[in-house]
């Protein structure tokens, strides 16, 4: 299922090359490049910093939850248990 209907989440995209379509041999080759490695390290650090900020900043967590509750439709599917 989609966790984003139950809690705030992100789905980041990382650019590892130019003008290459995913799921191709060209993308495979790009994925093992130094540029791809550098991009993934940078993205991992950014994601870790985001997580750290959310874990250590209660007011930011409250702000994120407030925005989530205001902007994300609430589904009435009773088969999905709430937190």
pLDDT for the residue 51: 96
Give whole-number Cα distances, 37 to 8, 22, 32, 56, in Å. 28, 16, 7, 28
Nearest CA-CA partner of 70 in 62, 78, 81, 79: 62
- The model's pLDDT over 22-81, given as tens digits with 9 standing for 90+, comes to 999 999 999 999 999 999 999 999 999 999 999 999 999 999 999 999 998 887 765 656
Q: In this predicted model, which residue has the larger pLDDT, 6 or 26?
A: 26
Q: In this predicted model, which residue has the larger pLDDT, 2 or 10?
A: 10
C-beta separation of 57 from 22 below 8 A: no
Asked whether the predicted pLDDT for residue 3 surpasses 80, the reply is: yes
Nearest CA-CA partner of 10 in 57, 76, 54: 54
Q: How many CB atoms are closer than 10 A to CB 74?
A: 8
pLDDT for the residue 82: 56
């Amino acid at each position: 299922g989609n966790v984003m209907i139950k809690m705030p989440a992100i789905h980041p995209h990382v650019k590892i090359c130019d003008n290459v379509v995913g799921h191709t041999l060209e993308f495979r080759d790009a994925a093992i490049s130094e540029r791809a490695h550098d991009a993934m390290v940078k993205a991992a650090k950014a994601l870790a910093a985001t997580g750290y900020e959310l874990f250590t900043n209660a007011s930011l967590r409250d702000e994120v939850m407030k925005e989530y509750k205001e902007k994300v439709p609430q589904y009435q599917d009773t088969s999905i248990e709430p937190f």
